[in-house]
Amino acid sequence: MSTSYSPEQFDVMACARSNARLTSMMTRDADGAALTRFFSRLETEASDPQGLATVSWAVQTELRPGADGQPQPWLHLEAEAGIRMTCQRCLTAADVRVTADRWFRFVTDEATAAVEDDESDEDVLALEPRFNLVQLVEDELLMAMPLVPMHTACPVEVPTSAGEEEFQAVLEARPSPFEALAQLKTAR
């Protein structure tokens, strides 16, 4: 018997009972429309309309005994995206790799999740009948994006001074304050 799981209508408990593993790999060339549909918020962070090149993710589910001895569903998410962003150093396009690797524990309701999330190391989410796994993947990738994207080594020379040549010439033409003091001292 084959079991099919929909990432947009994900039954966390059923998957955890069967220790299900789901994976997905999307590329701009093969899955452009799907990338735009599923990851529109991530795509808006790109420097150009075709800037979201790839998104891949893998999810492993399992049941673990909870504090009360009852089985609790857990989900391990590993996700990666290739996004073209603007380098904040040289202001040219930079291909940035964004990764996320997180564990989530599911509890019965939002109130329990809010209380336990503050007290635990893992992220705690409310168990919903149909969980949107794609949205979770996108949320985690958005939170993992760099605040200031930059090349490791910029492809163009980046000026390191803030001043213009004329400004530098004016600074060099000004007399040193120490020279002015020396002249005052010898004038006495």
Which portions of the chain are predicted below pLDDT 50?
1-3
Long-range contacts of 68-76 (CB under 8 A, 24+ apart): 71/16, 72/105, 72/106, 72/107, 73/12, 73/13, 73/15, 73/16, 73/105, 73/106, 73/127, 74/16, 74/103, 74/104, 74/105, 74/106, 75/12, 75/16, 75/103, 75/104, 75/106, 76/102, 76/103, 76/104
pLDDT for position 2 = 39
Give the model's pLDDT for residue 106.
94
pLDDT of the residue at 118 = 83
Residue 169's pLDDT is 74
Residue 121: per-residue pLDDT: 81
> What is the model's pLDDT at position 94?
94
Whether pTM > 0.75 for this model: the answer is yes
Q: What is the pLDDT of residue 132?
A: 94
Structural domain spans, the chain: 12-157
